[in-house]
């Protein structure tokens, strides 16, 4: 899928989690619901850091371009060294390592640890990265007409304000993980979810997605999971733009209203 659809699906997924948490008696304070949806929308773009033309690879200028080159080489090395006889030969790392459940868990866990150990500045940094990505994904038309500096300034301002809101008592810095020292441990959850939602979205497209790596399926370790080929679509096709994106909007709205107790 394309960036806007990925971001919308990420936001909708976190709002759905908010609805489920409310039903389970662990309701999210509204800042956790809102910030989590934005983080998840941004994280849903992150797996494409292995592709130089992707939104995330251009979002932070030379820094993200440099990271893209590293991730692409790392992904290709992982593919080359773990492929089975049924896996085709390839020349790049797109849709390999960063499109797996292991990558999602490791990245989310890493950000959680950084948030807990790094204090406020780490939290602001995590929010900044994901706010910029959320802007690029959800407001992509406006972002493309603006300069990168304006997007970064908006992301930085949003990150600073949201971190201040979350820091206030009762606003959710200790949501779900309530023991002393576990503040912001939950920040990794929308990052994991965003990465996994991205993978599921890509699995619906023609190429499929090797979400289950390194678990082998038949003669392949990088098996491209997806529905029957007749049910798949090309990225950017009318199915994505005219069907899936409106569905994500409706599901996100329903999830958000349920999470806030507006509808039961």
Q: At what angle do helices 148-167 and 101-138 cross, to 10 degrees?
A: 110
pTM above 0.85, yes or no: yes
Rg, C-alpha atoms of the chain: 18
Q: What are phi and psi of 205, to 5 degrees?
A: -90, 175
- Separation between Cα atoms, residue 11 and residue 175, nearest integer Å: 18
The pLDDT of residue 240 is 86
Contacts of 190 by beta carbon, 8 Å cutoff, 6+ apart: 10, 14, 36, 37, 39, 40, 43
Separation of alpha carbons 158 and 82, rounded Å: 41
Please report, for the chain, the start and end positions of each structural domain, with discontinuous segments joined by +: 2-260
Predicted confidence at residue 146, as pLDDT, reads 75
Evaluate whether 57 touches 27 at the Cβ level (below 8 Å): no
Which residue(s) pair with 220 in the sheet? 217
pLDDT at 264: 67
As a whole number of angstroms, the distance between CA 5 and CA 7 comes to 5
* pLDDT tens, the chain, 264 aa long: 788 899 999 999 999 999 999 998 888 999 999 999 999 999 999 999 998 888 898 889 999 999 999 999 999 999 999 999 999 998 888 999 999 999 999 999 999 999 999 999 999 999 999 999 999 999 876 766 777 889 999 999 999 999 999 999 999 999 989 888 899 999 999 999 999 999 999 999 988 999 999 999 989 999 999 998 888 888 778 888 889 999 999 999 999 999 988 886
């Amino acid at each position: 899928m394309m960036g806007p659809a990925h971001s919308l699906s990420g936001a909708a997924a976190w709002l759905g989690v908010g609805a489920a948490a409310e039903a389970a008696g662990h309701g999210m304070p509204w800042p956790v619901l809102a910030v989590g949806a934005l983080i998840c929308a941004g994280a849903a773009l992150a797996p494409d850091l292995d592709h130089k033309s992707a939104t995330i690879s251009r979002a932070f200028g030379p820094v993200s371009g440099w990271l893209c080159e590293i991730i692409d080489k790392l992904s290709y090395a992982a593919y080359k060294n773990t492929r089975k006889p049924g896996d085709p030969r390839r020349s790049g790392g797109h849709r390999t390592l960063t499109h797996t459940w292991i990558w999602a868990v490791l990245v989310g866990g890493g950000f959680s640890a950084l948030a807990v150990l790094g204090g406020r500045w780490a939290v602001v940094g995590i929010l900044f990265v994901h706010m910029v990505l959320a802007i690029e994904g959800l407001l992509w038309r406006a972002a493309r007409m603006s300069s990168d500096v304006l997007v970064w300034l908006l992301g930085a301002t949003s990150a600073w304000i949201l971190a201040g809101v979350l820091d206030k008592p009762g606003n959710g810095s200790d949501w779900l993980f309530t023991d002393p020292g576990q503040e912001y441990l939950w920040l990794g959850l929308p990052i994991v979810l965003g990465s996994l939602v991205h993978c599921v979205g890509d699995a619906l497209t023609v190429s499929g997605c090797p979400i289950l790596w390194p678990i082998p399926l038949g003669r392949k370790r990088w098996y491209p999971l997806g529905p029957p080929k007749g049910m798949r679509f090309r990225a950017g096709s009318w199915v994505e733009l005219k069907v899936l994106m409106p569905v994500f909007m409706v599901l996100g709205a329903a999830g958000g209203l349920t999470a806030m107790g507006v509808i039961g």
